[in-house]
Amino acid sequence: MDTLIQACYFAAAILFILGLRRMSSPLTARTGIHWAGAGMLVATLITFFWPGMENYLLMTAAIFIGGVTAWWTGQKVSMTDMPQMIALYNGMGGGAAAAIAAVELLRGEFHSDIFLTLAVLGALIGSISFSGSLIAFAKLQGLIRKPLRFPLQHALNLLIFVLAVGYGGMLVVTGDTSGINLLVFFGLALGIGIMKTLPIGGADMPVVISLYNALTGLAVGFEGFVLNNAAMIIAGTVVGAAGTLLTQLMAKAMNRSIANVLFGSFGGEQGAEESVEGVMRPIDVTDVSIMMAYAERVIIIPGYGMAVAQAQHKIKELMDVLLQRGIDVKFAIHPVAGRMPGHMNVLLAEADVPYDRLYDLEEINAEFAQTDVALVIGANDVVNPMARSNPDSPIYGMPILNADQARNVIVIKRGQGKGFSGVENALFFADNTRMLYGDGKAMTGELIHAVKQY
């Protein structure tokens, strides 16, 4: 039976890897999710046959409650709330790893200090991911609206981290994993995640979510070694590695180091004040429709504002209308547009925008100079030319979409506010930019109607 169990865990791990590989492309992501889901089903079912397994009723009840809850929330959650849902579910993964570690530490039956050390590390990392992800969820959900910053904050965070690591080391050295010791240790570990995430602003949430995803995978991998569970080891390692690479890519897309995200003060709603000369010039729907109806090339740049307005379906309809007129339409996707990695890709896929219309930053930037109209809907910092021109700007050096190089730039925006980072956008004041004020969905609908008249 043990051979069968290990074979099933190995098969589950292979399905996880293949599923993750297919998730790397929107064209195969759906089947990748199915493959990974099949792997999880295999791993879950074979666990019932683990030697010495008990509490079958409790296990079944937990699986049923968790499965029904996940299915219901997955059906009900809107696409605009998907980032916080991912943060919440990722936190649950870290919490589960920490809970496994707590049970094993209370049991105290370790073959060597190595397994005890791995259990403590898994508990520490899983707890940080759990509490940090919950704070990220609260920020994205609007429950925590401003970053919490105060003097000597980094020193306090460092002190909590040192205490947690030191207390974990004491657990390993003494082997005393009694209840009170674990309570103190887990309290400190949870405190790290909370205190570390509270000062981070919303603009940095994509990187933070990706980082906590990597930590969750690492914690699961450690607990897999403790339990001698091949599926957990492989799945945790794969998730940890993928999350780490994605975190590095996201930070690179912002020209920021991970340390700067975690310890810097940029990324909040109270960003540095920027002085930009000029005025924002409004335009009406009629003039925009004429401009777009007789254009040859149009590039649409979506951002989080499109998600908030739920305008992705209207944008797809606008694309169809323009294509019918023989206009070349492309979408420019910045790696950190939105509130989670791949946010814009998910929204546009939901609206059935063909994947071959989506281009990343490196593929599309050279085409803006030959583009008649760049339509910006909900994007802000990712099209701010200050990232190229102002060394004093907090976003200087960040790779951006070269929307300002288009012949005409139309920005659909509710008002004249700054972006989520709090940095003024010089693009909005440029001579070739016009502001179409209003709700993204409503303005796009009017634009579709107007274009059809020509």
Neighbours of 2 (CB within 10 A): 9
State how far the Cα of 159 lies from the Cα of 193, in Å rounded to an integer.
13
Neighbours of 236 (CB within 10 A): 26
Contact 261, 217 (CB under 8 A): no
Our separate counts of H helices and E strands in the chain read: 17, 6
Q: Does the annotation count 381 as an active-site position?
A: yes
Please give the distance of CA 232 from its chain centroid, rounded to a whole number.
23
Contact 278, 313 (CB under 8 A): no
Contact 149, 200 (CB under 8 A): no
Choice among 352, 381, 404, 439 that is catalytic: 381
Nearest to 355 by CA among 321, 330, 388: 330
Cβ-based neighbours of 198, under 8 Å, separated by 6 or more:
135, 144, 147, 148
What pairing do the DSSP bridges indicate for beta strands 408-413 and 433-437?
parallel
Secondary structure of 367-402 as H, E, C letters: HHHHCCEEEEEECCHHHCCHHHHCCCCCCCCCCCCC
Which parts of 260-361 are beta strand (E)? Answer: 297-302, 328-333, 358-360
What Å distances lie between residue 251 and 257, 258, 262, 399, 439, CA to CA? 6, 6, 11, 11, 30
Residue 124 — φ and ψ, nearest 5°?
-65, -50
Cβ-based neighbours of 138, under 8 Å, separated by 6 or more:
144
State how far the Cα of 431 lies from the Cα of 221, in Å rounded to an integer.
54
What Å distances lie between residue 48 and 179, 343, 413, CA to CA? 28, 37, 54
What SS3 state is found at 326?
coil
Contact 250, 210 (CB under 8 A): yes
Instruction: List active site positions.
Output: 381
